[in-house]
Chains A and B, each alone.
Chain A
Amino acid sequence: MELLLPEFGLVIFQSIAFLLLMFLLAKFAWKPILAAIKEREKSIDEALSKAELAKQEMARLTSQNEELMKSARAERDLILKEAKTLKDSIINEAKTAAQTEGAKLIEKAKIEIENSKKAALAELKHQVSSLSLDIAERVLRNQLQDKATQQDLVANLLKDVELN
């Protein structure tokens, strides 16, 4: 039974020593240790959540890039298509313009040719008439030089002409 009876001296020493130990440890060990552990856990948590955020940001950026790429591609296709239609229309326009211009030129040339022809023909007619007048004059002059024959002729003519 003696074991179950606390000795006064040890009770006193234990109380003082334990309280002192607790005070010293609390102030110089537990406080900084627990604070440091907590701090470290916080920083680890923060780093992890930051990494998660960065990952999300990365995914967001990637999808955004893809989106951009897609729209850019679509725009490029659109521009190409527009350019093609534009080109086609320009070519067509040029073609028709050339055609009309050509036709106009041809028309003009034709008129010119006609005019020239007409002028040439008129000139020709004029020349032919003057030439024929000349010839006729010369012929007449020749024939009129011989009065006897002229008389005959006139007589022949008069013979034909009966005074009716």
Chain B
Amino acid sequence: MDCSHVFEFKVKRLIVVFTLFLAFFSVTPAAFAQVDTAQVTEGSHAQPAAEKKFDIGKFALHHIADSHSWHVIGHTYIDLPVILYTKAGVVNFSSADFTTLEDGKVVRDDEAKVVVERNGQRFVKMHEKIYYASDVANEHGQFVNLDEKHHATNARPLDLSITKNVCTLFLSIIIILVVFLNVAKGYRTNKGKSPKGIQSWMEPIILFVRDDIAIPNLGHKYERFMPYLLTVFFFIWFNNMLGLVPFLPGGANLTGNIAVTMILALATFCLTVFNGNKYYWKHIFMPDVPWWMYIVMVPVELFGIFTKPIALMIRLFANITAGHILVLSLICLVFVFNSLYIAPISIAFAVFIGGIELLVAFIQAFIFTILSALFIGMAIDDHH
């Protein structure tokens, strides 16, 4: 009996260490961790002593993923609108429709068990994704067809829902607009004088972007790209910080979402490609190497055009997501060890990592911006 306890403890500890280990690195392994922990959990199902297992991987991934409702506290949620572009036109309803009443309690469904019918079409929600429902339920009561990895294979409508991330996106845009329109107002009222209030908070950062990011990389043509660089810097920074706030206005993982980083990287890519001058393109298609080297060099250079923004996309996404997973994992230590005495340790670590994340929030915004400036600078550089 004692031995089995020790064994249990060791398994749990292994899970924690393994998850932390994965969380430290990149997200791709962390995504696999869900499968790994799931397997471990399934393995432990064989043991009769096992209670309801806490699946840390699933928990963390659920929290960093997008969602159709916004968790406030306890059992309180804000239900966000679902907007679908289907074969039969636009359909919209509240995500509160994916709930059932069981024993007088509202149960939120995320396993494709509740079917919502609109415009003669049937929808289910599984892992915060909306599918066209199957005609009949499978053996678990789910109206989806599952593959061997438990992923739904049903067709999906075009999902234009106002999700948690979209809400945060709008919120952050409002915050950024309010802040910087106020700053701009400060320059009008204190014309020619020293900055006051929020203006003096933001001016050093604006100057930092101008003097340490734009001018060294772009040279005298920096002014054309300042609006983009400033916007991208403050968008990433504000959203990184908003993501670190654990309760309502924050909590979403917007800059750790691949769609968001993809659009940001795409913007840099477009600016690079459309502003590239003849030297830039000559460097790619006719580099200063013997002609027979072109067979190797041209594909490599062409490939490089795409790898640079892709690296930007992955870097921001992976850093922010990893930070979130790390903090979540540390907090989850309490549930993993199933002991309140772990709480001080876990909170101390979470605070420490939170401090680092605050730094990372700035650094990632800085890195994204300076690399964007660097890539654009390489494309517009004209002294060869």
Binding site for B on A (CB under 8 A): 1-15, 17-18, 20-22, 24-26, 28-34, 36-37, 39-40, 43
Contact = CB atoms under 8 A, between A and B. Distances in A.
Interface size classification for chain B: 35 or more
B263 A33 contact: no
A24 B184 CA distance: 12
A45 to B, nearest CB: 13
B187 interface: yes
Nearest to A43: B192
B162 to A, nearest CB: 8
Interface in B208-265: 210, 223, 226-228, 230-231, 235, 257-260, 262-264
A37 B160 contact: no
Given A33-B206, A37-B206, A1 B160 contact: no
B184 A12 contact: no
22 contacts: A1-B32, A2-B31, A2-B151, A3-B30, A4-B31, A7-B66, A7-B259, A8-B158, A8-B159, A10-B66, A10-B165, A17-B170, A18-B235, A21-B177, A21-B231, A25-B176, A25-B230, A30-B180, A33-B184, A33-B187, A37-B203, A39-B192
A22 B231 contact: yes
A22 B264 CA distance: 12
A3 B259 contact: no
A108 B129 CA distance: 150
A25 B262 contact: no
A26 B191 contact: no
Contact of A28 (B184, B192, B259): B184
A18 B169 CA distance: 9
Contact of A29 (B66, B173, B180): B180
Interface of B: 27-28, 30-32, 61, 64-66, 83, 127, 151, 158-161, 163, 165-166, 169-170, 173, 176-177, 180-181, 183-184, 187-188, 191-192, 203, 206-207, 210, 223, 226-228, 230-231, 235, 257-260, 262-264, 267, 321
A46 to B, nearest CB: 12
B181 A18 contact: no
B260 A4 contact: no
Contacts of A17: 169-170, 173
A37 B27 CA distance: 41
B180 A25 contact: yes
A59 B67 CA distance: 73
A32 B258 CA distance: 33
A34 B230 CA distance: 11
A55 B93 CA distance: 75
B267 A18 contact: yes
Contacts of A14: 169, 259-260, 263
Contacts of A40: 192
Contacts of B170: 17
Contact of B177 (A3, A25, A33): A25
Contact of A9 (B31, B161, B177): B161
A10 B227 contact: no
Contacts of A1: 28, 31-32
Contact of B188 (A8, A13, A32): A32
B259 A11 contact: yes
Contacts of A10: 66, 163, 165-166, 169, 257, 259-260
B230 A6 contact: no
Nearest to B158: A8
A32 to B, nearest CB: 5
A5 B64 CA distance: 14
Contacts of B173: 17, 20-21
